[in-house]
Amino acid sequence: MSDFQIVEGVKNSNSWKELSINLGYKTTISKNGRDELKERLLKLNLLDSFVQKIKDKPNSLKKKSKEELFKNTKNWQSARSQIQRTAREIYQNSNKPKCCVICGYDKTY
C-alpha cells in the first residue's frame, strides 16, 4: 500500500472502520493490521490529526430521539449504554458543580 493511498484514505475517512474500508479491507482490520497502520500514520505525521478528527466528529446520538435509538440498535442494552455514555459526556462538559446539591459531597466525580 502506497503512502498516497494512505493519505487519501485518511482524508476520506471519519473513523477507523471507514479508513479500513477505504484502504481495501473488508470491514475491520485485525489488531496487528491496525498497529501497523498506526505506525505508518505516525511516520507520515497523520496519526495525531486523524485521531483528533475522530474525536471532533459530531455525535449523531445527540440528534436522535431515544425511540430512534431503541428502534435502530440490535438490543436494548446497547441503546441504553449509548444514552448513558452521551448523558455522562454532556454532564462532564457542563459547568454545573460536580457535587451533591444537598450535602455538598464531591468525592464521586
Full residue range of the structural domain in which residue 102 is found: 60-109
One domain for residues 66 and 103: yes
Tell me the pLDDT band of 49, cut-offs 50, 70 and 90: confident
What's the domain count of the chain?
2
pLDDT tens digits for range 58-82: 656 667 788 887 887 788 888 888 8
Q: Do 67 and 52 fall into the same domain?
A: no
| C-alpha cell belonging to residue 9 | 484514505
Q: 34 with 71, same domain?
A: no
- Stated pTM of the model: 0.49
Whether residue 49 sits in one domain with residue 8: yes
49 & 83 share domain: no
Residues 22 and 43 in one domain: yes
Residues 75 and 43 in one domain: no
